[in-house]
Amino acid sequence: MLFSRCLIPTVKETPQDAVNASHTFLTRGGFIRRVGAGTYDFLPLGFRVLKKVEGIVRAEMNRAGALEILMPALLPAEYFKETGRWDTFGDNLFRLKDRKGSEMHLGPTHEEIVTDIARREIRSYREMPLNLYQIQTKFRDEPRPRGGLLRCREFIMKDAYSFDVSEEAAKASYERMRVAYCNVYDRMGLTYRMVAADSGAMGGSTSAEFQVLAESGEDAIVACDTCDYAANVEVAVVRPPAASTDDATVMEPERVSTPGKKTIEEVSTFLKVKPEAMLKSLVYVGGETTALVVIRGDHEVNEIAVARALGVADVFLATDVDVKKATGTDIGFVGPIGFKGRVLVDRAASQVKNGIAGGNERDVHVKNVNRGRDYDGDVGDFRLAGTGDGCAKCGKGTLTSYKGIEAGHIFILGTHYTAKMGATFLAEDQQKQPIIMGCYGIGVSRLVAATVEQHHDQDGMRWPMSIAPYQVHICTIGKDDAVNQAAKALYDDLEARGIEVLWDDRDERPGVKFKDADLLGIPLRVTIGGKGLAAGNFELKPRSEPDPKKAEMVPVADAARILEERVKSALAGKK
């Protein structure tokens, strides 16, 4: 493709609402354009990347034995009404009425529609396992579309649904999908973790998320450095800390004046102690219960664990007024001594010797607070896992925290939809049974953005070879015939070898061309012109090579063959 013939509208300006690299570079590189809140055009280069991601997803789904179908995006309300999701989806559902006044909506996901296929078409156990998938546009009325392609209201998704005769068979289908998903991310050159999405996932897992690691990610996860354990911090299980070896003498409590010092940071600086020697006490309200949660000063509360311990769905930090009512003092001076009500003590906090806690009196803290003597409570895991915590799964490794972008989810649904919708089959014993179902999603358009989040530098994108819009980017310098002839010969040779080439044939200064090449991020750049060509060479520079002096000279006669080798070995996963 000639640059001058392709629509590549690069711009210098960063979009106003851009807060992450993919939104910035995909827009600046002319890959995408915003149409409305959470909706985008894919321009030629963006479309090429999208289709390559789709191609990898499709190939791996087919290889795993799944069958591609296409369901409509425009749906009558009756199916979601059957399962109750017409109501529970709330404002996230794009609803509309047709000309006859019938209620309809745009599909945010297709469990009901595919279950309807299953109940119509599957009769016997012989017809399973069956896995149906589609790559299709989905619609969700996100309250806050943001991050460019990361969180849209219209997006491309691959959704697969498995149908099996038993839990055991469903687990085998789930496992095939797990392998297919790993293949997809591996082929795209992504660093990712498969993350336990529920706390019961330590053993036989029935639900997992795939998180692409990136600083801009919205999800906080921890992963073990020794085994494959990874989990969302909210459900992560940590190894209980070894019993304290601190043999410091337990000292008598001492009330000290801490005027105006409320936060852990203020108090620890004022009293010259480390945050981990402090006991952070927070009042939570869950349902009818008011509870005090005690964690170490350097930790954060895991609200999901607190809610679970209190037997409620959600907990909220108590308001100033509620704190005063529960403790008689203000936020910042609350402590566990004498607290009337449920006290939840995190395991690590319970081991703190001679800790410092709030004195339940304005401007007062207490030194030498020890659990057992000065306060009590239920000991458990009530903090978020973080870097440095021990891994509970292997018992040896250490956890590190990462930020991640959720790029896939696999799930065994059981009979949740099939029972409600009457999707049954005749088992071997001629008994009617509900079909066991699984669902598996990959955000295809989101993966385009997630790749850029992981593969970029300050100058632009750095596409992995497998999904790059083109594989080789030729920059010609100057306009003389020798340059053009050399470029044309290389271009034709590469195309004949099946290599995808973009030739920047524009009448622009070298600086402009190089800047655009860095922004577009095509993996291999070949510069033709100047002294190099006079000496019989082209200059070859991989986009992943940051040092401009590291360009290598390749003889004109060998260039096409060398480039072909580089492209093929990159596609084969070699360096």
Binding site for Zn ion (CB under 5 A): 224, 226-227, 229, 391, 393-394, 397
CB of 223 to Zn ion, least distance (A): 9
Determine the Cα–Cα distance for residues 472 and 494; give it in Å rounded to an integer.
9
| Side-by-side strand order, sheet with 364-369 | 254-257, 364-369, 355-358
Is there a contact between 473 and 505 (Cβ–Cβ < 8 Å)? Answer: no
CB of 227 to Zn ion, least distance (A): 3
Q: Is 336 exposed, middle or buried (0-12, 13-18, 19+ CB in 10 A)?
A: buried
Determine the Cα–Cα distance for residues 319 and 325; give it in Å rounded to an integer.
10
Is there a contact between 281 and 257 (Cβ–Cβ < 8 Å)? Answer: no
CB of 393 to Zn ion, least distance (A): 5
Q: Exposure string (b/e) for 516-547, b if CB count within 10 Å is 16 or more?
A: bbbbbbbbbbbbbbeebbeeebbbbbbbeeee
∠ CA 200-436-405, nearest 5°, is 50
The residue among 190, 162, 165, 46 whose CA lies nearest residue 412 is 162
Length of the chain: 575
CB of 171 to Zn ion, least distance (A): 23
21/196 with CB nearer Zn ion: 196
CB of 202 to Zn ion, least distance (A): 11
CB of 399 to Zn ion, least distance (A): 8
CB of 228 to Zn ion, least distance (A): 8
Written as six digits, the tokens of 367 are 């030194």
200/546 with CB nearer Zn ion: 200
152/196 with CB nearer Zn ion: 196
108/404 with CB nearer Zn ion: 404
394/419 with CB nearer Zn ion: 394
301/392 with CB nearer Zn ion: 392
196/278 with CB nearer Zn ion: 196
The residue among 9, 12, 27 whose CA lies nearest residue 147 is 27
CB of 194 to Zn ion, least distance (A): 14
Written as six digits, the tokens of 150 are 């990361």
Is there a contact between 212 and 464 (Cβ–Cβ < 8 Å)? Answer: no
Measure the CA dihedral 368/369/370/373, to 10°: 110
395/536 with CB nearer Zn ion: 395
229/402 with CB nearer Zn ion: 229
226/387 with CB nearer Zn ion: 226
Is there a contact between 132 and 121 (Cβ–Cβ < 8 Å)? Answer: no
Is there a contact between 1 and 502 (Cβ–Cβ < 8 Å)? Answer: yes
The residues, any chain, with a CB within 8 Å of residue 395's CB and separated by 6 or more, are: 239
The residue among 169, 174, 237 whose CA lies nearest residue 202 is 237
CB of 210 to Zn ion, least distance (A): 19
CB of 63 to Zn ion, least distance (A): 30
